Amino acid sequence: MQPRDALTDNIATHFPGRSITFDEPRQFPLARRTVAVILAWLVPGAGHLVLGKRGRALLFFLTIVGAFIFGLILNGHLYWPTPDPSATFRFDLITVLWFFAQIGSGLCYVASYVLGLGTAAIPQAAASPTFEYGNTFMFLAGLLNYLVIHDAFDIAAGRKR
């Protein structure tokens, strides 16, 4: 035991032969980075799967796709930028922002739009008491996938493990 006066904050000096090694993040080739980012947008979690992060890929896929499907079940609406000649930007800005949030979920949005899910006219869709909750879940899915895309890029660029 050390006397109280000899105690130091630097414990590593007492164990010179021991060290903890961490594997450094590695940078992936440009082609693999590009594929990872594109797939991360198309299918949530697929970019992480390409980079070998299977656990994260499954977690992101289940979370984002689940939130999007839950939003559709709650009668959420798919938004598309609609021209508005009276608006300053020629489009209804709120609709454009909502579209941007939802399109971030990739094929979830595209497949739903092609299948006609969530495309009911707004007055009929808004009559549902869960309309706003559904929209919120679908916005959340798209915006969360933007963060997942960024995370896949950071891993591919060698900025994180």
Please tell me the predicted confidence (pLDDT) of residue 11.
65
Query: Strand pairing partners for 83?
Result: 91
- What is the per-residue pLDDT across 131-157, written as a single tens digit (0 to 9) for each? 999 999 999 999 999 999 999 999 999
- List the single range of 10-14, 21-25, 87-91 with lowest mean pLDDT: 10-14
Whole-number pLDDT of residue 2: 60
pLDDT value of residue 128:
86
| Residue pair 18/149 in contact by the 8 Å Cβ criterion | no
Q: Following DSSP, what letter does each residue of 77-109 receive, concatenated?
A: ------B-TTSTTSB-HHHHHHHHHHHTTTHHH
Q: What is the pLDDT of residue 74?
A: 94
Q: What is the spatial distance between Cα 136 and Cα 129, in angstroms, rounded to a whole number?
A: 13
